[in-house]
Amino acid sequence: MISGAAPKKLDRRIVIKGAVAGGVAQLAAPFVLTARAAETVKIGLDNPLTGTFAALGKNELIGAQLAVDQMNAKGGILGRQVELLVEDSTSGDTATAVQKALKLIDRDKVDFLIGNINSALAQAMANTSNQKGVFHIVPGGHTDTVTGSQCHWNVFRVCNTTRMETNSVSKLLLEGYGKNWYFITTDYAFGHSLQDGFEASLKQANGTKLGADFTPLGTTDFSANLIKAQSVIPDAIILLLAGDDMINCLKQAVQFGLNKKFHIAGAQQELEVNEGLPPDALFGDWVFEWYWKQPGVPHVEQFVADIRKRSGGKVPTARTWFGHAAMWSCQLAAEKAKSLEPIKLAKAMQGLVLPPEVALMPNNPYYRIGDNQLMPTLFVGQSQPAPAGGDPEDLFKVSQLVKGDEAALPVDQTGCKMEWPS
Amino acid sequence: MTQLLLFNVFNGLIIGAFYALMALGLSLILNLSGVINFAHGGFLAIGGYLAYTLIPYLGFWGALLVSPFLVAFIGIVIERVLIRRLYGRDPLYSLLLTFGLAFMIEDGTRFIWGAQSLPYQIPGWLAAPLSSEYFFLTGYRVFMMILVGAAVLGLFLILNHTRLGLRIRAGTLDLETVSVLGVNVRVLRNLNFGLGIYLAGLAGVLAVGMLGLEPTIGDNLIMPSFIAIIVGGLGSLPGTLVGGLLIGVASGVTSVFFPSASEAVIYVMMAAVLIVRPRGLLGEEGRF
């Protein structure tokens, strides 16, 4: 008899249970860190630190941490030091994100709630924070409903709506490349919202949607979608993907040679994605929501230098700026309201203009009255390989600056019907 | 439409072959040791990251050659230190262990290489399309198909024409008898585990040529691999190969008509096989 030789009976049920466990594992998430101190103003950050959006979450965290240190060095909020409590919301599990938000609100008694990157999680958190009456800023979840049909008096957003992104770049695409488009779109709230926006622009310009493929989040092989796109000979293939899906699709589009036959473009692109692409896959027209290279814009150089010190020499991305701006917005609202009471904070945020050291972009971004959406500047341009002898992270060339309020729908068309507590 | 379908069937076959490569490694380990290796995707990621790290020193081809062996070595050490202790216990123990190991590997790669995707450059001539006039195929996919084919052929040659392969096959059928005949079962399991992990490492090096290199790269590939095993039949390596190819083609063809169901279709296939033929297409009756 061999010691421990024969495996116990292994049947299909166990293998299937294992497969189910594997699926659950992708949703499960470890918990990260909290730090405590007495008499502090508490800001809870409930954002992905594991899974698909971990890299984006980490950059928002770095920006938030810098903001907290800057605030504390200047006396904190209302004379009290600021404490950042961080929770891992996971990248896609709504229940976990909401549960972590409730933990921050009910147990940790945070004064401000920040999160989420994932659109669906951001909306779920917004609904929860509204029920609890807690002041909440969404730093990087783009779906329109957050400041649209499901807007709330207590919920503000730093990043753009998807419609702002599509409106800012669609004119360039329509005039420059033609009106027959094929969409490859990620199959969740973010992708659907982006496609709706582009379709509206197409309709307005009498353009044609030649086809659209909704691909599941986490798709690895885009060959079938690219084959279909090629077969209808579009003027432009519009990629409405995010994160690794975008990387996978762009790499494969290059390998199929589609970038040489068709114009490939999209709405949102991120530096995190560009840094994961080989040089030959850095092409196309996109929108960046913030870019680190802004010669002559006050305080940007200092911000870039500060972030480089904290991130191993890497430059800030739009995500870093989101985290930084969201934290500072809490401070600005509290100082203006001279209170931490949520309703007073929310009132103080109406029309609040970000000062240059927080804005870090031209055109004085402000929180719009009526839908609580920040109106920043959008950076339209082209992805590019790093210039020879230049900074290796200079992977985007800004060709156009678009004011947020020129790209956004008017408040009365957003679907937002703000209801304030009596 | 016919041309579109043909293109997709062919590309589906290529992707299916890739799933099969991963699934064969899983299947080898499962068949001999009864271990459901949930860390297989993690080993795939390590393969990709090691190749990325080695390219500046060894070049693309050197990294392609060396990385899978390094991953296999890591696998052998892990089997020796951790997994061996759970043989003979309920398979759920090893399932839980590899489940935890998968998280550790993912966070480990995140710690060492960062959470952000890394740019993995393949040689220009491989990254180019072959022709999109008559068929829609990239040089890299053909290269991948050739390597997968060579790896599968090599595996079947090892299993059918070497003493090690003979012992693995015999052990899969009756490990106790193999042990009684004087075979060192510990070493056999250790080498078999290394062989399975080698295939995961090779899959990882190949995957990063067309996918983003980031810590969760294995997550989206591990489920199709398990499904390939279930569809093809537990205990059958040819079945695993067939299962991989089938789900690849099914996913590709579904993309033509209903892209958002391209992932769901493989789960539907698994359900259908479990209902109609629970032992899988080529699985042996009563084996599991």
- Where chain B has pLDDT below 70, the residues are 132-135, 285-288
Q: Name the residue ranges covered by the structural domains of chain B.
A: 21-215
| Amino acid identity for residue A360 in this structure | L
Burial bucket for residue A339 (CB in 10 Å: 0-12, 13-18, 19+): middle
Phi-psi region of B223 (alpha: psi -120 to 50; beta: other; left: phi over 0): alpha
Whether residue A385 sits in one domain with residue A361:
no
**What pLDDT is stored for residue A29 in this prediction?**
41
Q: CA-nearest residue of chain B to A256?
A: B129
A354 shares a domain with A282: no
Which has the higher per-residue pLDDT, A22 or A303? A303
Interface size between A and B, measured as CB pairs under 8 A: 214
What integer pLDDT is reported at residue B117 of this predicted model?
87
For residues A362-384, average pLDDT: 97
Alpha helix ranges (H) inside chain B = 2-33, 40-81, 91-113, 124-127, 139-161, 163-180, 185-207, 219-232, 237-257, 264-276
pLDDT per residue as tens digits for the range A294-306: 999 999 999 999 9
Mean pLDDT of chain A: 91
Q: Do A55 and B259 touch (CB under 8 A)?
A: no
**Using CA atoms, how far apart are residues A314 and A307, in angstroms rounded to an integer?**
7
Q: Would the pLDDT of A7 be above 50?
A: no
- Residues of chain A with C-beta less than 8 angstroms from the C-beta of B185: 2, 5
Residue of B90 and A203 predicted with greater confidence: A203
- For residue A27, the model assigns a pLDDT of 46
What is the domain range of residue A175?
Answer: 163-288+380-406
Phi, psi at B60, each rounded to 5°? -60, -45
Q: Is B212 an 8 Å CB contact of chain A? A: yes
CA dist A214 and B88 (Å) reads: 46
Kindly state the percentage of chain A with pLDDT values over 90: 81
The tens digit of pLDDT for each residue in B120-140 reads 889 988 888 887 666 677 889
Model confidence at A38: pLDDT above 60: no
What pLDDT score does B116 carry? 83
Backbone angles phi, psi at A379, to 5 degrees: -105, 100
Model-level ipTM above the cut of 0.90: no
Distance (Å, rounded) from C-alpha A90 to C-alpha A373? 25
- Closest partner CB to A255 (pick from B30, B127, B230): B127
Mean predicted confidence (pLDDT) in A356-363: 97
pLDDT at residue A13 in the model: 61
Q: Considering its fold, how many domains does chain A have in total?
A: 2
- The pTM of this model reads 0.82
Q: What pLDDT does residue A36 have?
A: 45
Which residue type occupies A243?
G
Q: Quick one: average pLDDT of A26-32? A: 42
Per-residue pLDDT, A216: 87
Terminal CA-CA length for chain B? 42
Residue A220: band (very low, low, confident or very high) from pLDDT cuts 50, 70, 90: confident
In terms of domains, do A263 and A174 share one? yes
> Do A223 and A370 fall within a single domain?
no
Flag the least confident range among A63-72, A96-105, A226-235, B38-47: A226-235
Question: Does residue A217 sit within a domain?
Answer: yes
Q: Are both A206 and A224 inside the same structural domain? A: yes
Question: Does A272 contact B at CB distance below 8 Å?
Answer: yes
Token pair 């989420």: residue: A116
Nearest Cα to A253, choosing from A283, A298, A232?
A283
Q: Considering the domain boundaries, does residue A276 fall inside one? A: yes
- Predicted pLDDT at B134: 60
In a domain, residue A14? The reply is: no
User: Do A392 and A371 belong together in one domain?
Assistant: no
